[in-house]
Amino acid sequence: MRESEEKYRSLFEKMLNGFACCRIIVDEDNRPIDWIYLNVNDAFEKITGLKKETVIGKKVTEAIPGLKKDSPELFDIYGRVALTGEEARFEIYLDTLKIWFSVMAFCPQKGYFVAVFDDITENKRAEEEKKNLQEQLFHAQKMESIGRLAGGIAHDFNNILTGIMGYAELLKMQFPDTTSSVGQAADVILGGAERAANLSKQLLGFARSGKYNPVPLKINKIIRDTVKVSEKIFEKNIKVKYEFDENIKTIEADRHQLDQIFTNLIINAKDAMPNGGELILRTENLYFDKVFIKSKPDIVPVYYIKVTVADDGFGMSKEVCEHVFEPFFTTKEEGKGTGLGLATVYGIVKNHGGYIDVSSEPCKGTIFTLYFPVSEKKVIEIKKDITLIKGSATILVIDDEEIVINLAKKMLRNLGYKVLIADGGGNGLRYLKKKRT
Ligand SMILES: Nc1ncnc2c1ncn2[C@@H]1O[C@H](COP(=O)(O)OP(=O)(O)OP(=O)(O)O)[C@@H](O)[C@H]1O
Ligand SMILES: [Mg+2]
C-alpha cells in the first residue's frame, strides 16, 4: 500500500501536466468563495510561475490575489466539481497570470477537487494568428472582386464619357458664344460629364486600372503641396503638424494618384473634426522585419517608407472601421459623401505595391498608416505646363473604341494634323508596314 502510494506520489511529482489538489471553501449559502491548496507538483510551479511554498496551505485569494475578480467563473466551475462530483474539462484564459490553460478537474472526495492542467498559450496564439491571416486573406479577396467589378463598369463608362465630353468640347468650339443656347447646353453637358468622369476615375483608381505613371519622388513635398491646396477648405481651428523625416527615402509613385490619396485622407480628417483639432502628418523610413511581415502576408521584406495621417476627431466604431475601404461605404448624409474616397486610396496604395492600415477609437481619433516600398532610382525634376502644339504632320491613331477614334480624329484635324485611323494594334502595324514599302 505504502509502495503504491509512493509510486503515485512520484508520478504526480514528475508528470508534465500541472497538478493541484484543493479543498473548496463555501459561504453560508453553499456558494464557492475560495479554495485551499493542499498539494501541487513541480509542473504547477513551472507553468504558473508560483512557488510551492507560497501556495500550499494557502487560500487561492491569498496565493493569487486578483484571480477572483478577473476570473469568477473558475470559482463556479471548481465549486461545482467539488460539491456535485461532476467532472469538468475546459479551456480558460487567466488574465491575472496571462496564461491560457486547458484543464481537467475531478472530485476525489466531496468538498475537494483535483485540477490537472496544461499551458496552451502558444497554441492559442498560433490559432489567433491563423484566424487573423484568414480574415486578412478573405478581406483582400473581397476587395479584389469588388475591384474587378467596379473596374469593368468604370472602364466602359469612361469610354462613353470620353465621347460625350469630346463632342461637347467640339460644340463649344463651334459655338464659342456662351450666351447662345447651344453654347450653354454644351457647358451643361460638359459639367455633368466631368462629374461623372470624376466618379469613374475614382472607381478606376480603386480597381487599380486607372492611368498610372510612376516616377521616383520624395513624398514630403507631395504631402506639403497637397495640404497647401486642401488647407483652403479647413476651418481656422484645425492645426496641421508636420513630423517629416527630412532624409526620407525615394519611392516610385504617380504624383497625381498620391495627390488623390492625401486629398482624400485630409478631407476625411477635416470632416471628422467639425470643432477643430490637430492633424498630424508623419513620414519615416522603415525596414520590415520578418516578425512584422508574418502578420501581413502581402508585404515583402524590403525597405519601406511609412506615412501616418492622424487626426483627433470623432473617430469610428470597430464596425465602421471594418468597411471603410469598400467602395460606396459612407456614413455621411446623402449628397455629402460618395464613399469612394478611401476605396480609391486603397486601390492606389495597392497599385504602388504598398499597404494601408487604419486604427480608430470613437471620440479619440483616427490613424491611417501607409507603407510604400523604397526605390533606388534618382528623383526626376517635374516638367511643367503642357501646351497644345499645332502642326501638319501625319498622326496614326490606334484605338478600338469608335467614339474615341472619331473624337481624336476631329481634335487633331482641328490642330492641323493629317490623321490615319486604325481600330486595333494589328491594323496599326499593317499601316506602318504599308507606309514603309
Ligand atoms: N478620419 C476619419 N475619421 C472618422 N471617420 C472616418 C475618417 N475617414 C473615413 N471615415 C469614415 O469612413 C467612411 C468612408 O470614407 P470615404 O472617404 O471612403 O467616403 P466618404 O468620405 O464618406 O465620401 P467621399 O470621400 O467619397 O466623399 C466615412 O463616411 C466615415 O464614416
Ligand atoms: Mg472621404
- Which residue, of 96, 119, 142, is where some domain finishes? 119
Answer with the residue of higher pLDDT: 431 or 112.
Answer: 112
Residues 225 and 303 occupy one common structural domain? yes
What pLDDT is recorded for position 381?
66
pLDDT in the model for residue 401: 78
pLDDT band at 334; cut points 50, 70, 90: confident
pLDDT at 7 over 90: no
Q: How far is the CA of 359 from the centre of ligand 1 (A)?
A: 13
pLDDT exceeds 70 at position 211: no
State whether 17 and 105 are in the same domain: yes
Domain presence at residue 339? yes
The grid cell for 129 is: 494568428
Instruction: Locate the ligand 1 atom nearest the alpha carbon of residue 365 and give its number.
Output: 3
Domain that holds residue 409: 394-436
pLDDT single digits (tens) 339-365 = 889 998 998 998 898 999 999 999 999
**C-beta of 147 in contact with ligand 1 (< 6 A):** no
Alpha carbons 416 and 412: distance in angstroms, whole number: 7
Q: Is the CB of 320 under 6 A from ligand 1?
A: yes
| Shared-domain flag, residues 312 and 194 | no
Is 141 part of any domain?
Answer: yes
Kindly tell me the sign of the dihedral angle through the C-alpha atoms of 53, 58, 63, 67: positive
Residues 305 and 242 in one domain: yes
C-alpha cell at 237: 481651428
370 lines ligand 1 (CB under 6 A): no
Evaluate if residue 299 carries a pLDDT over 80. no
Task: Spell out a b/e string for 352-383, using b for 16 or more CB atoms within 10 Å of the CB, else e.
Answer: bbbbbebebeeeebbbbebbbbbbeeeeeeee
* Rg, Å, the chain Cα set: 34
Region 270-282: mean pLDDT is: 94
If you average pLDDT over residues 374-386, what whole number do you get?
Answer: 73
230-242 confidence digits (pLDDT tens)? 877 777 789 999 9
Beta bridge partners of 103: 90, 117
Last residue of a domain, which of 211, 231, 264? 211
Same domain, 188 and 318: no
Would residue 260 count as lying in a domain?
Answer: yes
Same domain, 217 and 186: no
The answer to whether residue 230 is domain-embedded is: yes
CA distances from 424 to 275, 400, 402, 418, 429 (A): 55, 5, 11, 19, 9
Task: Note whether residue 112 is domain-resident.
Answer: yes
Question: 313: CA distance to ligand 2 center in Å?
Answer: 14
- pLDDT above 60: residue 384: no
388 located within any domain = no
Could you tell me the CATH number of the domain that includes residue 250? 3.30.565.10
Structural domain includes residue 20: yes
Is pLDDT larger for residue 344 or for residue 288? 344
Distance CA 58, CA 99 (A): 21
Q: Based on the fold, state whether residues 164 and 271 are members of the same structural domain.
A: no
Question: Could you tell me the distance, in angstroms and rounded to a whole number, from the CA of residue 255 to the centre of ligand 2?
Answer: 19
Give the per-residue pLDDT at 430.
85
Residue 253: beta bridge partners? 215
Distance 321 CA to ligand 1 centre (A): 10
Are residue 295 and residue 308 in the same domain, yes or no? Answer: yes
Number of domains in the chain: 4
For residue 389, tell me if it sits in a domain: no
Examine the domain organization and report whether 20 and 89 are in the same domain.
yes
For residues 98 and 130, state if they share a domain.
Answer: no
User: How far from chain centre, in Å, is Cα 419?
Assistant: 47
Domain co-membership, 248 together with 373? yes
Q: Are residues 185 and 203 in the same domain?
A: yes
Cα 164-254-200 angle, rounded to 5 deg: 30
8 Å CB contact between 22 and 15:
no
Separation CA 89–CA 81 (nearest Å): 10
**Domain edge (last residue) among 152, 176, 211:** 211
Q: Which residue has the higher pLDDT, 340 or 308?
A: 308
**pLDDT band at 122, cuts 50/70/90?**
very high
In this structure, the residue with its CA closest to atom 31 of ligand 1 is: 331
Angle between helices 181-206 and 255-271 (to 10 degrees): 90
Average per-residue pLDDT for the chain: 88
| Residue 118 contacts residue 17 (beta carbons within 8 Å) | yes
pLDDT higher than threshold 60 for residue 1: no
pLDDT-based confidence at 383, cuts 50/70/90? low
| Atom 11 of ligand 1: nearest residue by CA position | 324
